[in-house]
């Protein structure tokens, strides 16, 4: 029994570190294929639904940035893992009654899609902490059920959020609609739209440097369109059972 547990534990360690190597290699290959430096794309390991023990395995394999979707679960894990130098990103839908926990515990938020949330986060960010690093989430495919600001509302929101005191606006985030076609050109299309919006905002004078796009299934298409950060869960930790976002 004990032997089995040890074996199982060992195989998890090996799997997560091997998966991380595979994902890093995919990122490097995708960047190189379009003439970008491999180091220009950061990897966010999405640990939602996985216990702190899995985060520690990834940590042991050199991963430092982790993404969480659910406030309580994320805060609990941050406290449980409590390792200096870890960077926690909140990437899930954010209700306004949960903003304080996020402002107090996370370094980044990728999922701001309305003024009220940004304003609350700014007001609740502790003075002792560095400014909260944020991306605005854009509903690039105009899906009725998806979070994210409508693309046409993003410029006004971005200019307003950029002026908030305890927040540093870094860029844009999107989760495109699942692409039925495996066609690479089709997959790139929504990422291209997000990139053009990003470039427009930079042309308008906003100092943005982060395009948060690409997940396990579409890292390559996102990097081809300029992703600077990919958010990867399944390809690192495995298929999630339980709830989905």
Return the beta strands (E) in the chain as ranges.
Answer: 42-46, 65-68, 87-90, 108-112, 132-137, 167-173, 210-212, 229-232
Q: Which is nearer to ligand PLP, 92 or 151 (CB)?
A: 92
Residue 140 interacting with ligand PLP (CB under 6 A): no
The dihedrals phi and psi of 41, each to the nearest 5 degrees, come to -120, 115
Binding test (CB under 6 A) with ligand PLP, winner from 175, 201, 211, 223: 175
Residue 91 interacting with ligand PLP (CB under 6 A): yes
Question: HSE-up of 215 (CA within 13 Å, CB side)?
Answer: 16
Mode of pairing for the β-strands spanning 108-112 and 87-90 = parallel
Q: Which is nearer to ligand PLP, 98 or 231 (CB)?
A: 231
Give min distance, CB of 67 to ligand PLP, in A. 6
What's the CA gap between 79 and 87, in Å, rounded?
Answer: 12
Residue 216 interacting with ligand PLP (CB under 6 A): yes
Two tokens, residue 180:
């039925």
What's the CA gap between 206 and 218, in Å, rounded?
Answer: 27
Residue 117 interacting with ligand PLP (CB under 6 A): no
Helix (H, G, I), strand (E, B) or coil at 108: strand
Which range, of 4-12, 152-160, 189-197, 225-233, touches ligand PLP by CB under 6 A? 225-233
Residue 234 interacting with ligand PLP (CB under 6 A): yes
Nearest alpha-carbon partner for 139 in 149, 124, 129: 149
Neighbours of 99 (CB within 10 A): 24
**Contact string 29-68 vs ligand PLP (x = CB under 6 A):** -----------------x-x--------------------
Binding test (CB under 6 A) with ligand PLP, winner from 19, 63, 69, 133: 69
Footprint of ligand PLP (CB under 6 A): 46, 48, 69, 91-92, 175, 215-217, 231-235, 245
């Amino acid at each position: 029994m004990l032997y089995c547990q040890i074996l199982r534990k060992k195989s998890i360690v090996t799997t997560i570190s091997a998966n991380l190597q595979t994902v890093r290699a995919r990122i490097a290959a995708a960047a190189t294929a379009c003439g970008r430096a491999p180091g220009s794309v950061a990897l966010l390991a999405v640990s939602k639904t996985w216990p702190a023990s899995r985060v520690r395995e990834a940590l042991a394999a050199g991963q430092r940035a982790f993404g969480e979707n659910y406030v309580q679960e994320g805060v609990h894990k941050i406290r449980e893992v409590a390792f200096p130098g870890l960077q926690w990103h909140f990437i899930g839908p954010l209700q306004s009654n949960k903003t304080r926990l996020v402002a107090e515990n996370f370094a980044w938020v990728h999922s701001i899609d309305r003024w009220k949330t940004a304003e609350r986060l700014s007001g609740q960010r502790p003075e002792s902490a560095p400014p909260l690093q944020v991306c605005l989430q854009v509903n690039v495919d105009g899906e009725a059920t998806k979070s994210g600001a409508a693309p046409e509302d993003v410029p006004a929101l971005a200019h307003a959020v950029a002026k908030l005191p305890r927040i540093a606006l870094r860029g844009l985030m999107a989760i495109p609609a699942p692409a039925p076609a495996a066609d690479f050109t089709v997959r790139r299309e929504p990422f291209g739209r997000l990139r053009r919006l990003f470039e427009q905002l930079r042309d308008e004078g906003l100092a943005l440097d982060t395009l948060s796009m690409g997940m396990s299934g579409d890292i390559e298409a996102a990097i081809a369109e300029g992703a600077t950060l990919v958010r990867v869960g399944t390809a690192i930790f495995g298929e999630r059972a339980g709830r989905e976002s």
